[in-house]
Amino acid sequence: MPPQLRLLPSQLSGKTPYLCTQCRYASLASATTPAPPLHQTVSAVSPVSHYPLTQPPSYKPPEFRKSQLHRQYQSLLRSSPLILLFQHNNLKATEWSGIRRELRNALKKVDEALAKEGKEMAGEGARLQVVQTGILASALNIVEFWDPKYEAEGQGTRPTDPTTNTSAVVENTRPDDATDPAFTHGLSRQAWSMSSQKAKSTPSELTPLLSGPIALLTLPTTSPQHLATALSILAPTKEFPAPKRRVNAAYHEKPVQDGVAKLMLLGARVEGQVMDMAGARWVGGIKGGMEGLRAQLVGMLSGVGASVTSILESAGRNLWVTIEGRRGMLEEEEKGESGEEKGENGEQKVE
Amino acid sequence: MLTKYLTGVTTAFSPFNAHSGKIIRSFLALLPPNARSTMAIDVKMFGQSEAQKPAMLTLKFMLEDGKEMQVDVEKMKLTDIEIEVDRHSRMLKRKDELSG
């Protein structure tokens, strides 16, 4: 049974409730304008911006899918040092999901092995994605040929920058006009015109690959171990054999095998350098990853150092040997001369 | 493109060749999803240094016909290859319908 509320008869009559007079005065006091903060009294308020700093007006309407893909591909190309290009020939959704699952599992194993050694893990960030080829080609042009030089611009001259003072001389830019040369971001008209001009005169080496259906495998770090595993899953060869049926039965299921047969490795972009299939496999074949490569380099350099010291030493040693030899010869000659004299004397005696 | 009567595709090319590599890759992308089970597809790819090496594309048709079509990739475009394949496939289809 719910508790009964006992109300007083005065509460039922609908009288105005009691109000504290002090509280009323306090509510009136809050209506006065507070004093401006100290930093606003010292420096000027920044000019009003019509667009946020992170969203300057774009040349193409930003609500279009292709504008967003263009931005996304630019950041993908800038942020992933290791990219593998594949052609995908009519893969089905089940085949894609199977391949992605196998790739994820294989990279996870590499991550676990590396985590035991306390090394970097990058397998989580690896992605195999289908891209729009034309938009990727345009984004690649921007990444390769457009250098906005943000550092040279200097701080505190942009109206959107909160550190800019009102007294600063700012070029008059209209927020809805993306053709304005003041805008230097990747989707601006200036970036597009400059990069397309340069791409016409000196096209990127990757340009012939950018046609037809393209899928990208992007890795967030240049890690040969992860690349070798990815190659053994996506494009198995003798050097990078696919996992055995006993070890990984799921890889040998029909959808995965059909999908792998339809993926063609075309090339790679490793830290801005374009490589073909053999180049990609060479990077994957670096033993022990980047640390292995560093160890090889150190070994080579120390070997060079040792040989340099031995060469420098050998010059001194040669000199010492020749001088010693010469001294020996002179001593022998001196001895020989005295002996010959004796001999001559002896012969003379015989005659 | 009619691919029902196609039984074999043999090709060797370099994807770094802007002309032949593009045509052959586009042709391979036109084959249906189950192409690997219905026809023998043999793809050999050259590297970047061999981009100017002449590319080769050979198409084989049904066994009764047994025609091997050597495609001149330097002269033909993708649409020309499609037209040729369609023409021959239609001929085979007509024969098939008359006999069956």
Q: DSSP of A206-232, one letter per residue?
A: TGGG-SSSEEEEEESS--HHHHHHHHH
Domain annotation covers residue B58? yes
Rounded to the nearest angstrom, the minimum Cα separation between B49 and chain A is 9
The one-character DSSP state at B39 is S
Q: Which residues contact A345 (CB under 8 A, 6 or more apart)?
A: none
Q: Structure tokens of B100?
A: 């069956």
Q: CB of B33 within 8 A of CB of A94?
A: no
Query: In this predicted structure, what is the pLDDT of residue A319?
Result: 82
Domain annotation covers residue B35? yes
Which domain, by its residues, includes B55?
Answer: 6-99
Facing residue for A258 by CB, picked from B16, B36, B51: B36
Whether B95 has its CB under 8 Å from any CB of chain A: the answer is no
Facing residue for B22 by CB, picked from A211, A267, A277: A211
Query: In this predicted structure, what is the pLDDT of residue A61?
Result: 81
State percent of chain A over pLDDT 90. Answer: 34
pLDDT, one tens digit per residue, over A35-55 is 777 766 766 655 555 667 677
Residues 10-29 of chain B whose Cβ lies under 8 A from any Cβ of chain A: 15-18, 21-22, 25-26, 28-29
State percent of chain A over pLDDT 70. Answer: 74
Distance CA A138, CA A135 (A): 5
User: CB distance B18–A207 less than 8 Å?
Assistant: yes
Query: In this predicted structure, what is the pLDDT of residue A115?
Result: 87
Helix, strand or coil for residue A93? helix
Looking at the predicted structure, is the pLDDT value of residue A150 above 70?
no
Token pair 């033993």 is at which residue? A287
The model's confidence at residue A222, banded by pLDDT at 50, 70 and 90, is confident
pLDDT, one tens digit per residue, over A307-341 is 777 777 887 788 888 888 888 888 888 887 665 55
| ipTM of the shown complex | 0.90
The model's confidence at residue A351, banded by pLDDT at 50, 70 and 90, is very low
Helix, strand or coil for residue A303? helix
Residue B55 burial class via C-beta count within 10 angstroms: exposed 0-12, middle 13-18, buried 19 and up: buried
The model's confidence at residue A223, banded by pLDDT at 50, 70 and 90, is confident
Interface test with A, best of B20, B28, B44 (most A CBs within 10 A): B28
Domain annotation covers residue B93? yes
Domain annotation covers residue B1? no
For residue B17, what is the domain's CATH number? 3.40.30
Contacts of A208 in chain B (CB under 8 A): 15-18, 21-22, 51
Facing residue for B16 by CB, picked from A89, A262, A276: A276
| Phi–psi pair at B19, nearest 5 degrees | -95, -65
Task: Return the minimum-mean-pLDDT range out of A85-94, A134-143, A176-185.
Answer: A176-185
Domain annotation covers residue B57? yes
pLDDT, one tens digit per residue, over B42-79 is 999 998 888 888 888 989 888 767 788 888 888 899 99
Rounded to the nearest angstrom, the minimum Cα separation between A284 and chain B is 16
What is the total count of domains within chain B?
Answer: 1
